[in-house]
Chain A
Amino acid sequence: MNPRIFSLVLFAAALPAQPPKLKLWSLQPVARPAVPTDAAHPVDAFLAEQHQAKGLRPNGPADKLTLLRRATFDLTGLPPTAAEQAAFLADDSPAAYEKLLDRLLADEQHGVRYARHWLDVLRYADMDGNDGGVMPASGSIWRWRDWMIQALNDDLPYDQFVRAQILGNRHGGRPALTVFGTRTRAEAMPQDQFALGFLSRAALTGNDRDQDIAIQAVETISAAFLGMTVACAKCHDHRFDPIKQSDYYAMKALFDPLVLRTVSLATPEQIYAYGKAVAAYRRRKEPVDQAIEQLIAPYHEKLYAERVSMLPPDVRAIVLKPERKRTEAEQKIADDYFPVLRIDPPKMKAIMPAEVVKAYDALLKEQREIKAPAGLESHVIVEEDAARLQRPTYILTSGDPTKPEKDKPVAPGFPFQPPDTDFRYGRREGFVDWLTDKDNPLFARVAVNRVWQWHFGQGLQKSPSDFGLLGGRPSHPQLLDYLASEFTRHNFSMKWLHKFLMTSAAYRMDSKPGEANQKIDPANDLLWRFRLQRLEAEPLWDAILSSAGELDRTVGGKSFQIVKTDNKQSIFLPKDGTFEARKNRRAAYMTRGYIPSTEVMAHFLQSFDVDDGRTPCPVRTQTVTAPQALFSMNDPLIEDATAKLAARAQKAGELPAAVQLAYRETIGRPPSPGELDRALSYLGGDAAKLKGLAWMLYNLDEFLFVR
């Protein structure tokens, strides 16, 4: 639907001047509903109720290879190889499909795929910045991404997954009684420090001048884990949902004490080696620095004296005073005049004799060539600052950190806070206890709805980050509640949830549209067929490289950059060494982000609807556009892949076998007899034309869509 019309409709519907004091459905406790009929799978039982009520006849099961391609892309973001297709077809045991799911869930690429989903929701970006600066965590933020991949592969329970990212401690950090009867804090798993990238990623300056850590924590956590648009309350009480401006700032107070801290990841050996390298660097550089200083001294002195004499008398007096005799105010004035008094090399050169300029240039060149050793490996976390813990939090006018309303202090807290919240062991700890509590009606509902959306292409609640009044109501409230209660009962196991959803008949349905059903439910909200899904940018990239035999499947590591920037722009980018050189890795590792001065997102990602990661992206839009077609037709990546896929196909043997292989590697099935005929007739017996055939396969609708 046209977003404008949609929002207008909502707006109009929700316009009564005094919003009625609604009891939001999403705030009601999750009650585990009884499964309605005796369908083989509870999911199908709930869906069947509405099918029957509306006269919909759900599609039958999809064929095996369709299901294999669907499940493989879904769980790993990769296409099934020809060998995997043969193996799955060969297994005609009743448990073949379950075995497939188990294999895919155990595959380490599963974490890569689902981390990408979560990172969208949690606004992961490799770069973010404003006004020339780049977020301090930029160089190490990928460690948070890698932590997440690992956590998902380990099936870290969802509550711990969330706790770790907010606290850096999956256990919650509360004291427990040890066997010796002493109370001590549950120790964090060491790797959970990397989960804190979730919070440290927010800061756009080293001192977090604009309080981005706290502000983003409030907005991202409330949207991602509570499905509530608390962000509106930054400037005013929420117009529709029961969230006050004071709630926003109370929640902000939970995170206000947080500051950035850089943690070294170096071994003692590396630290010693680095120390030696720094000493050597200084030994080389110092004499050059001194020589330069000596050479420029007379010219610098002359120009400096000239400038000082040009200063207004009061400023001149301050500048001429020795530093220790200046008052604080005077020191500030002197500092403010630093740029005025700074003498740049060109100015000095202008008054030097030619031979001195020559000597100066030679020294400057020498100085430039002495490179400082590369810094030690480190990453950026957040921690509570003792001084900040003492500071009160105020409501900010329009969210502006420079405009605290001093008459409106707020205590740490959060929306819907129960009266007995225990903050004794920390502000965030008290909040996270409530957030991840199995009785929190939003926590599991929001999570299962997201996972449902990633499997079925649309959530039961269509707006996965808005369970408030504007978000509308879920299509199957009982199913949502059933899933939420089962998810909780299964100890928040995400792998359990994946398998549970994927073993339903609904997931295994054919995706073909049918006229009769289409008339009743054109948007397929009631799931009478599996939704045809366009590949997102990442699996598309991976599928191209994989079919060409080029994909590097290494899990984790630095991101790689395919955008070329010129020199003028590169000064705004993170320093060298931030990015990985190999560019044939999975697209999950392709840099994304935003810098006001510089385009850093690959055109490829943009044209296939990937966000820059500045704000949470709960739903990827799925456009079908001309630039996408231009990519598939003409991009050098495709040109290169067609040659490589053709070469692979040719090795399969005669032309019919080559066509078979090319089909299997791209669209996960052999060609139909008709398609094989047409392909062979295009080839006309000429193996050199396999490259052309490969081009066609990359441009097939079926290559871009998962049915």
Chain B
Amino acid sequence: MLTRRILLRLANGFLGTAVGSLWAADGRMPAALLPGTPRAKSVIYIFLCGGMSHIDTFDPKDNKYAGTMMDAIGFGDNNAPMKRPVIPILRTYKRYGQAGIPVSDWFPHVGGVIDEFAVVRSMYCHQTNHFPAVIEHSTGKPLRQFEHPSLGSWVTYALGSANKNLPSFVNIGRPSSPVQLTGGYLGARYSATPFQPGDTPIPNLAAPASATRAERDRQMEALTALNAEFRAEYALDAEIAARVQAYELAGSLMRTAPAIVDFAQEPGHVKALYGIGEKETDDFGRQLLLARRLVENGVRFIQLCHAGGGNGSWDAHGDMETHAPLCRAVDKPVAGLIQDLKQRGLLDETLVVFTSEFGRTPWSQNTTGRDHNGKGFSTLLAGGGVRGGVVEGATDEVGYKAVERPHYISDLQATILQQMGLNYKKMDFHTNGRAFHLIEEGTGPIQAILR
């Protein structure tokens, strides 16, 4: 059920002109700020669209039930109760790092930096299909009855911007759902700004080919002159003052943003770390390098959607082997990101999250693939005050349900908020005569994985 019509618009009628910076400079939730210096300044939130199988990657299970029929819920089949065949896990696991955390052969590079990661094996959510689950994951609400904002916009709203020339919440890569970018009732200016890797990270950032730099400068100058009479008459109007600012900002964006996506100055060995230049890893490697550069420029929340569009390519109903190229595409870049952040001393202040909307079932729909599973899945965290080399929680013996210290997705959000210096209990927004709380469920920050 997804009735989500409500007239929050009523309050929005008073928004009036959003003057000033496009990306609000000041935090808007002073009451939610925790005392002291936050552990993390930025979040890199890596989201694998479609549902990565936890039992084939970071949550090993033996195959003793393989081939047997188990009582299941047909998540992909109208949630009908039925019996389903458990299919074997064809991966080999190896223990990595000092902690000896097992990682499957699909993630050898991540295995190499596993001492930086906390592996939470007991995540769960309520929704069982992609879009509802993605929405639940980003908004912390199992239903979209209201225009709930995504986590990144809450963080932006609460903390404001550290660089007024850049957005605070950036999304890279095609998401599963536009809701992952939404500012909801917080307002459109807190939505994610989509960045494209390439010369034009933001639409219309580059002048058309016909406009030379010198000519455009002359035009800008003449434009100012032609605007003069009107601006003199309407100087008292806030909108007109905002126009001047908007053009200044647009100009500074046109100058600074392309430089951030221009990797010409990056040394070869750094690019190699991310797998840039290698066929399978080049694309995601570039996105993660861009993410690091955004971190360096004070962007607070960088969300990367991998293999999104439609249900997401990680949706391996048919055959688990479809995971193989996807794992190869992200494994090396993610490990490279961790190493690069570490060597720059940025890892301590950058929280890296690696997750999907849900995991996958031990059983198949009579294929060699797996169905959706919101009842248990794995999320990895590194940096930003997270203790590396720890495993938190556990699923049952087949990997179906989170049974030891289960964590609702709100716990992940609360963890991120706390590390960013925000009191997760005070993430409230009042509109239309009622309060909305970001965190309403779960047990709070996952303290066991924090330093």
Contact = CB atoms under 8 A, between A and B. Distances in A.
B94 interface: no
A470 B432 contact: yes
A635 B230 CA distance: 24
Interface in A1-54: 1, 3-4, 6-8, 10-11, 14
B322 interface: no
Nearest to B165: A626
A701 B225 CA distance: 12
A614 B19 CA distance: 26
Interface stretch (A155-163, A261-269, A332-340): A332-340
Contacts of B431: 3-4, 7
Interface stretch (B2-10, B263-271, B286-294, B296-304): B2-10
B76 to A, nearest CB: 8
Interface in B204-237: 204-208, 210-211, 215, 218-219, 222-223, 225-227, 229-231, 233-237
Contacts of B235: 513
A74 interface: no
A572 B230 contact: no
B16 A10 contact: no
A232 B205 CA distance: 42
Nearest to B8: A615
Contacts of A661: none
B229 A215 contact: no
B249 A622 contact: no
Given A219-B5, A513-B234, A700-B226, A630 B253 contact: yes
A618 B11 CA distance: 10
Nearest to B236: A513
A624 interface: yes
Contacts of A232: 6, 432-434
Interface in B1-34: 1-19, 22, 28
A389 B433 CA distance: 35
Interface residues of A, number: 114
B22 A626 contact: yes
B331 to A, nearest CB: 23
A215 B5 contact: yes
Contacts of A619: 9, 12-13
Nearest to B365: A339
Contacts of B208: 634, 636, 639
Interface in B77-100: 77, 80-85
B56 interface: no
Contact of B6 (A572, A615, A623): A615
Contact of B7 (A229, A462, A606): A229
Contacts of A538: none
Interface string A681-694: 01000000001100
Interface in A197-254: 204, 210-212, 215-216, 219-220, 223, 229, 231-232, 234, 239-240
A3 B187 contact: yes
Nearest to B28: A4
Interface stretch (A95-103, A307-315, A483-491): A307-315
Contact of B135 (A234, A333, A463, A596): A596
Interface string B119-162: 00000000001111011000000000101000000000000000
Nearest to A15: B433
A571 interface: yes
Interface string B425-446: 0000111111000000000000
11 contacts: A3-B187, A132-B311, A223-B10, A515-B236, A596-B135, A614-B4, A626-B250, A630-B205, A631-B204, A679-B222, A701-B243
Given A462-B13, A675-B226, A701-B230, 18 more contacts: A6-B14, A11-B433, A232-B433, A333-B82, A340-B365, A400-B1, A513-B236, A514-B236, A596-B131, A606-B188, A615-B9, A626-B22, A626-B247, A630-B204, A635-B203, A679-B222, A700-B226, A702-B227
